[in-house]
Amino acid sequence: MAQSSPDKVVDAAHAAVARATARELAVHAAYDRARNVLRARNRRRALVPLTREMFSTPGRLDAYAARSMPAWAWGLPVSRRGQLLAVISPTASAITPPIRSALAGTMIVVASVQEEERIRRTTDPRQRFVLLSVGIPEPGHEEIVALARRTP
């Protein structure tokens, strides 16, 4: 029977620690990603009622928010009678040059100064913003873990 050399044991131990560390980092990254996705969803949902009211005809609630879509950097487009009026909380990292051009003439609705600054860095310098103050619920741990498990 062959004997294991001490170097092989140490190398195997280091490899096991490296694998465990990599798994731990991946779990934390998935958790952070899921938390950010849920925060963005909650922010967009919280902004919808005030945005609809702001862009509706006086006395009528005729502005509508559509679903989040990649064409608007995952923001929610708000329109009235088929005319795009605003985009709620697009994702700064998803703003490509074509989306930047498309957003240039459209109002962007945000929930914080930090969000506005993050988005402003990726948009046209003349981009217009509306800052609305809304309460945004923080996602719960169980909800974050559930999404992290469903999303690779």
pLDDT at 25: 85
**Which token pair is 142?**
């169980």
Using alpha carbons, select from 14, 28, 41 the residue that is nearest to residue 138: 41
| Exposure letters 90-125 (e unless 16+ CB within 10 A, then b) | bbbeebeeebeebbeebbbbbbeeebbeebbebbee
* CA-based torsion, 24, 25, 29, 30: positive or negative: negative
Residue span of the structural domain in which 101 resides: 6-150
pLDDT at 4: 62
Q: Contact 65/88 with Cβ under 8 angstroms? A: yes
- The answer to whether residue 113 sits within a structural domain is yes
Number of domains in the chain: 1
| Single-letter amino acid, residue 103 | L
146: part of which helix (H) or strand (E)? helix 141-150
Q: What is the DSSP letter of 110?
A: E
- The answer to whether residue 85 sits within a structural domain is yes
DSSP state letters, 48-65: HHHHHHHHSPTT----EE
- The answer to whether residue 1 sits within a structural domain is no
- C-alpha count within 13 angstroms, C-beta hemisphere, residue 97: 0
pLDDT at 6: 74
Digitized pLDDT (tens) for each residue of the chain, 152 residues in all: 555 677 777 788 888 888 888 888 888 888 998 998 899 999 999 999 999 999 999 989 999 999 998 999 999 999 999 999 999 999 999 999 999 999 998 999 999 999 999 999 999 999 999 999 988 889 999 999 998 988 76
- The answer to whether residue 117 sits within a structural domain is yes
